[in-house]
């Protein structure tokens, strides 16, 4: 893990890093150790990038005393696009222009991204754990593409203790969901134009977690109410505990 820059604003230290070519950002309280502190993994949505999570990350640090980390997903942010990524960007534009359904197409492409992204998150957790000489409880927060990646990550990675997912729901995600056992809050948009409602309900239903809660609101994919986003942060905070 190679730290490339460090800055501080209003009590929050922000460090950019790369690990095996994957660029990321780590946020933590100024002058306080990462070790033992609750850590929130922030997964971004499709077409977005690691710094799209900066407001949520800063709230985690300032309001909770947590640390937070975000990565650019494969083909996103500062990362080069593979030939596959380029093909996807071209073809999805053509599908949308033709008015054809895109959800199966998106699911197939994002499943391929997730296969690349999950080991990247595991490697970042390993590196941070070594650097900090031990991590506190880890939570995952990610909607849409952030859930397509986060669900198999939470299924595979025992360090993840609680998660916020949502705005996703394709049959290809169901098997991994069944292997998630930690508490989950799942956000669903009732009128989601990108994710079929039945698929999202089935994905929530498939989660193996004993403790799981679904919050569904009227509106489209990009219209999750601000109150729900705040609620989801409180959900994670309840499960990751207090810093004190």
Which spans of this chain sit near a second copy (rule: CB under 8 A)? 188, 190, 201, 204-205, 209-218, 225, 228, 231
Q: Smallest distance, Å, CB 238 to a second copy?
A: 8
Q: Rank residues 18 and 231 by Cβ distance to a second copy and give the closer one.
A: 231
Q: Smallest distance, Å, CB 213 to a second copy?
A: 5
> H helices within 133-196, ranges in order?
145-156, 174-178
Q: Rank residues 81 and 238 by Cβ distance to a second copy and give the closer one.
A: 238
Longest CA–CA separation in the chain, Å: 55
- Euclidean distance between CA atoms 182 and 218, whole angstroms: 27
Q: Smallest distance, Å, CB 48 to a second copy?
A: 24
Q: Rank residues 159 and 215 by Cβ distance to a second copy and give the closer one.
A: 215
Q: 3-state class of 44 per DSSP?
A: coil
Residue keyed to tokens 């900090």:
132
Q: Smallest distance, Å, CB 227 to a second copy?
A: 8
- Euclidean distance between CA atoms 176 and 179, whole angstroms: 5
Q: Rank residues 61 and 206 by Cβ distance to a second copy and give the closer one.
A: 206
> H helices within 133-173, ranges in order?
145-156
């Amino acid at each position: 893990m190679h730290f490339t820059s460090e800055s501080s604003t209003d009590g929050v230290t922000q460090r950019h890093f790369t690990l095996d070519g994957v660029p990321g950002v780590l946020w933590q309280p100024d002058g306080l150790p990462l070790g033992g502190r609750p850590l929130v993994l922030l997964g971004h949505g499709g077409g977005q990038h690691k710094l799209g999570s900066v407001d949520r990350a800063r709230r985690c640090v300032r309001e909770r005393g947590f640390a937070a980390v975000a990565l650019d997903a494969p083909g996103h942010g500062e990362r080069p696009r593979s030939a596959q990524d380029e093909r996807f960007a071209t073809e999805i534009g053509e599908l949308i222009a033709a008015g054809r359904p895109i959800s199966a197409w998106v699911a197939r492409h994002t499943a391929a991204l997730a296969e690349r992204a999950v080991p990247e998150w595991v490697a970042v957790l390993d590196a941070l754990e070594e650097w900090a000489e031990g991590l506190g409880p880890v939570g995952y927060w990610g909607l849409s593409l952030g859930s397509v990646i986060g669900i198999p990550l939470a299924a595979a990675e025992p360090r993840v203790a609680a998660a916020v997912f949502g705005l996703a729901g394709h049959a290809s995600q169901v098997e991994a969901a069944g292997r998630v056992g930690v508490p989950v809050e799942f956000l669903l948009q009732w009128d989601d134009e990108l994710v079929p409602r039945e698929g999202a309900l089935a994905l929530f239903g498939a989660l193996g977690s004993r403790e799981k809660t679904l919050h569904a609101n009227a509106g489209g994919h990009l219209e999750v109410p601000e109150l729900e986003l705040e609620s989801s942060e409180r959900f994670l905070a309840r499960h990751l505990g207090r810093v004190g």
